[in-house]
Homo-oligomer: A and B are copies of this chain.
């Protein structure tokens, strides 16, 4: 038992509680037995009682979102869950880290290791020196590093869903590192809380469409992580689609087997071996992954099959849980030495 368990709870600050990921983070933190939310912080135009943004939180968290104030945060918290957009995050992180705070950053700012790649897909990076310090927060692949991290780059939703499906098979050399296709779908909460014609209910409901084909910023993240796991350059085509539902994500992935003898059973065995001790990955054989089986949970379900000589892998998760807030809590649990599933049932 850590010191923090024996006595008082860990104090956690949430920055950016007025977005969907912030909201979901608050909900999971409220259930967690070892932490307390010490404060909520946001940009100047997003201040006020948190239940003004999310009336569901009334009577659960009678707290105001206040202006980001490093002095106040450092006095009252030891860990910050940073749920703000890219670019904003790398403005806050240096201050938070200099104040000695642990940070779990939900944005993309510390995920891409090469600042040139970051600049190509996002904008110039203003905190390059801290990229090496950041640990990519995918526990199923980087648990040990997470345990000792002070700054976590919490993975993107599509990367989590894709990497959990492909990682073990690439690591074991069962599938070719090139020519992979990730056909992904997401619920609309993945697009954030800001209203837009694309997400206006009558335009989005009873609709389904591809978007950001060849231009989605999660593609370089997926490539970087998978290349590191495979220890070789991985190339893939990533095509996301919007699906008319609140939350949930499903990847249908197509790959080539390296050996002719690969079977569905062999693929499943490799996944089972890799995820045997993973609390939040389920290797499916009797049913295929489906959004309904993972939504509002921190699970990622995966299944792999040989079909007509091609490897097909399905993976599903809740974009707001295992794809964002739940994974952050899981990382927090690991950082503090708590059981990985604490507060995540």
Contacts and interface: CB of A to CB of B under 8 A. Distances in A.
Interface string A231-252: 0000101010101111110101
A305 interface: yes
A200 B208 contact: no
Nearest to A244: B245
Contacts of A254: 181, 183, 237, 254
Given A213-B307, A307-B213, A31 B181 contact: no
Contact of A207 (B235, B290, B310): B290
Contact of A195 (B55, B188, B195, B239): B195
Interface stretch (A34-42, A56-64, A88-96, A158-166): A56-64
Copies of this chain per assembly: 4
Contact of A206 (B194, B237, B246, B252): B246
A189 B289 CA distance: 22
B292 A203 contact: yes
Interface of A: 20, 30-31, 33, 52, 55-56, 58-60, 181, 183, 185, 187-189, 193-197, 199-211, 213-214, 235, 237, 239, 241, 243-248, 250, 252, 254, 279, 282, 284, 286-297, 299, 305, 307-308, 310, 312, 314, 316, 345
